[in-house]
Amino acid sequence: MSKTKPEPATAGIESKQTTVGSVFVSNYPPYSTWNDAAVPDVHRALGEQPLPDATLGLYLHIPFCRKRCKFCYFRVYTDKNSTEIDTYLNALAKEVELYSRQPAIAGRPLRFVYFGGGTPSYISVKHLTTLVDRVKNVMSWDAAEEVAFECEPGTLTQKKLIAIKEIGVTRLSLGVENLNDEILAENGRAHLSKEVYRIAPWIQELAFDQVNIDLISGMIGETWESWRETVQKTIELDPDSITVYQLELPFNTVYSKDILGGDSLPVADWKLKREWHQYAFEQFEKVGYEISSAYTVLKNDKPCQFVYRDAVWQGSDMIGTGVASFSHLSGIHFQNAPSWGDYLGNLEDDKLPIYRALRPTEAERLTREMILQLKLGVIKPSYFKEKFEADILSLYADAYEKLQNDGMLRVNAASDEIVLTQRGLLQVDSLLPAFYAPEYQNTRYT
């Protein structure tokens, strides 16, 4: 394969090759439009009372990993020792403490808590319990609907799992990604499949409210035979929910740098990745799961939810703590300092480490909620009429008409539903730029 040119965020819905560029849409307007000029807006909002009826969540970024996966684009570190980890976690707790004193946050109950990474399960039990004690002292989550915790199987011990359960975690998410050891090794994963099976009995014994397994279709080296085997083994592990992502190549991954440097890489095209994704969902549905979004299936005989996802997609307030983390408060988006030194330095000076921000317009907030909720597969125009006093079928008439003509969705005004077809759901992220305002159509996403 020759050197590949970057793919813009607005790549066509029928693009075939997996080229370098962000595809997964997690916010709007694009992050690249955020700037430091809007940071004073964040501080003003923190000093005011929250918007009426706004729920609040807390995201805790634990940016440490045993290895960096070759497809990873998150802010993670693989070279920090115990002292450096201790320094970071002290700063993280201090950041939460600073937020807890702000008028927009003080006294508000947490609807959800999310430990994300990196690898939250990488840190020691002592580090985890010390962090949680400090955070809970100023922001208790005893009444939260969900406490989610991401894990890498090889970092878990029975003692650590017990500690994770004891801090109140209700949704344990395992980054399995694949159950073929050659594929795991090629893609830079730190764990092997034996570590998944080692921890499975401990997890079952602890009876977490919900156990999720993450998979990725299209990892380097994947074949139909290996994917079928991974899907079947995942079914046998019997998780409460399963999330399937399609491999993409954002700009700052190891694989992307290799491609842009001229190396050849056997990346599955989008058509094949979607076929693998579709196959997985079909097999999961056959054994009693139902589709919850473009990525997730849930057991249909057990109450399951993903409060973090639903709250964020509905515009909930969320304070994202930790290096490079993203937040949303009182209608304003903002991000923390993306470098280790800047993040820690701000907190040493008793300052919140806010780096850039954006105050979207009412129209942009509407677009954001609509496109993110389209990932659920079904949205109701009446929701947006009630919340934004807007008729989305009129405002976005051209985009909806084109996507309906292309077989990506169906508009049913009589039942108050816009429903993505199976074909549309499998490539939903590539459809969403159709709703972007003209000034964002060719803007780099990150």
Query: Are 152 and 175 contacting, i.e. CB atoms less than 8 angstroms apart?
Result: yes
Topology given in CATH for the domain delimited by 361-440: Arc Repressor Mutant, subunit A (1.10.10)
User: Would the pTM count as exceeding 0.85?
Assistant: yes
| Tens of each residue's pLDDT in the chain, 446 residues | 233 333 333 334 445 888 877 789 999 999 999 999 999 999 999 999 999 989 999 999 999 999 999 889 888 999 999 999 999 999 999 999 999 999 999 999 999 999 999 999 999 999 999 999 999 999 999 999 999 999 999 999 999 999 999 999 999 999 999 999 999 999 999 999 999 999 999 999 999 999 999 999 999 999 999 999 999 999 999 999 999 999 998 888 888 888 888 887 888 999 999 999 999 999 999 999 999 999 999 999 888 989 999 999 999 999 999 999 999 999 999 999 999 999 999 999 999 999 999 999 999 999 999 999 999 999 999 999 999 999 999 999 999 999 999 999 999 989 999 999 999 999 999 999 999 999 998 777 67
Packing angle, helices 82-100 and 125-138, rounded to 10: 10
Q: What pLDDT sits at residue 13? A: 43
Residue ranges in 374-444 assigned as alpha helix (H): 381-388, 392-395, 397-405, 422-426, 428-431
Question: What is the distance in angstroms between the CA of the first residue and the CA of the last residue of the chain?
Answer: 25
| DSSP code per residue over 341-379 | HHHHHHHHTT---EEEEE---HHHHHHHHHHHHGGGSEE
Q: What are phi and psi of 379, to 5 degrees?
A: -130, 160
What does the block give as tokens for 300?
Answer: 């249909």
| Domain residue spans of the chain | 31-311, 361-440
Q: What pLDDT sits at residue 7? A: 34
- Give exposure, 250-284, as e/b (b: 16+ Cβ within 10 Å): bbebbbbeebbeeeeeebbebebbbbbbbbbbebb
**333, β-bridge pairs:** 328, 358
How far is it, in rounded angstroms, from Cα 367 to Cα 433?
Answer: 10
DSSP 8-state code for residue 49:
P
Q: For domain 31-311, say whether CATH 3.40.50.720 is its number.
A: no
Q: What pLDDT sits at residue 15? A: 54
